[in-house]
Amino acid sequence: MFKSFAAILQFDIRLIARDQLLLLIVLMIAIIAAALTLAGQYRAGLGLEGFGQWLPYFLILAVISNPASYGMVFGLLLVEEVETRVRSALLVTPIGPVWFVLMRTPLLVVMLTLIGFGMGYGIGTAWGFDALSGLQWLAISAATAMIGPAIMILMSTFASNRVEALAMGKLFSAITTPPILLYLLPDDAWYRVVFLIFPTTPVVHAYEAFRQGADMSGYQWLIWAMLYASGLTALAIRRYLRKSYAIGG
């Protein structure tokens, strides 16, 4: 099983390195994060100190938008397997489809966790934002990263080609980012509860709880976020299996 995982990991890395579009998406996000970190480090000289009041909202937006971006990157890899008939060939191997897709999730989760932590804690530290500890940023990033596999698997089951997959990537971006609008709504508005349909809403609530010093409430929200993401992933895997066997047939 370990050899199979290593082979799939190497295969995915080669595909990302070979595909200019996928590599461009990864590099663009990395360049933006590096530029913001440097801007925060030299904010006084650049005259950007006024941006600090908007920084808390930008940081959480950057973190919750990551699963859609990188989930799409890995989802495109699975869509390519449908186009090239690789998935049909893999159905006759000893590795079952469920294990084949689950082997893709650890790399994605680890990558999203590290990227989210780097954006939240790294950029925040560069700008002097210390409302959250490193451990809290790590917990937020890990909970948000759990959404990535669901997006990856759903994209590979509903999209038949790369064009459809890219369109779905925009849809998933529209699903993960709306909770940022909670900052524009009245605290006592009854319709705030409607935002709980979005998987990133518990993460935003956890972030605000940490900022207010309510650590226990923050971790409870993150547990909810992980359970929500796990449920979505389980449903996505079920759909993936049905699609895989339909392709194989």
The predicted pLDDT at position 134 comes to 93
The predicted pLDDT at position 97 comes to 62
Inform me whether the pLDDT recorded for 203 exceeds 90.
Answer: yes
- Taking residues 126-134, what's their average pLDDT? 91
Sequence spans of domains, the chain: 2-248
- Candidate from 105-119, 155-169, 171-185, 226-240 with smallest mean pLDDT: 155-169
Specify the pTM.
Answer: 0.84
| Span 78-96, pLDDT tens digits | 777 666 665 555 555 556 6
The predicted pLDDT at position 98 comes to 66
| Span 43-62, pLDDT tens digits | 888 888 888 889 999 999 99
- Candidate from 8-17, 20-29, 128-137, 175-184 with smallest mean pLDDT: 8-17
**pLDDT-based confidence at 217, cuts 50/70/90?**
very high
Q: Are 128 and 44 in contact (CB under 8 A)?
A: no
The predicted pLDDT at position 74 comes to 79
Inform me whether the pLDDT recorded for 155 exceeds 80.
Answer: yes
- Taking residues 176-195, what's their average pLDDT? 92
- Taking residues 130-156, what's their average pLDDT? 92
Inform me whether the pLDDT recorded for 138 exceeds 90.
Answer: yes
| Span 25-48, pLDDT tens digits | 777 878 888 888 888 888 888 888
